[in-house]
Structure 1
Amino acid sequence: MLPADSMVPIGWVAVGQPVRILPPEDHAGIRAVQQNQDFPGSFFGLDRPADGKSLMPTISERFGRGLGRDSNDPQI
């Protein structure tokens, strides 16, 4: 949650509680905040894989389905 007088510049991210507003290139800072949160579980209902594999293929597939697209759609 952002305080009433907060501003997040375009392209930046607001993460954590209390909130931290970070530039998009601050990967380490963003990761440090998100690492202690269960973002995949809270947002997507997914458990982090024990083998460390990326969840992005599954997340991308869900987004695609949500947008009404599937692997049979013609490529643009």
Structure 2
Amino acid sequence: MDTLELKNILIEEINQIEDKSFLTALRTIIESKIKKENLYEEYNSEILKAEEDIENGYTISHDDVKGKIDEWKKK
């Protein structure tokens, strides 16, 4: 059974369910899966951007960061 067949079977079975609380729970599960996938995509995108920044020399040393923090603390 391929993914499309499985989706179609699930759609048919879900259409037969009348229990609102069960359908709400199922919706929560599906939304959670979608959000998780989106988070992975965002995470991977941010990692790729950071790697590009490093390759292009857009970095700051640890000592420079510590110096900036010290300046902020004085304000």
Q: TM-score range by the shorter chain?
A: under 0.3
Q: TM-score, normalised by structure 2?
A: 0.25
Higher RCO, Cα 8 Å, sep 6+: 1
Normalised TM-score (structure 1): 0.25
Q: Kindly indicate which of the two structures has a greater share of residues assigned to helix.
A: 2
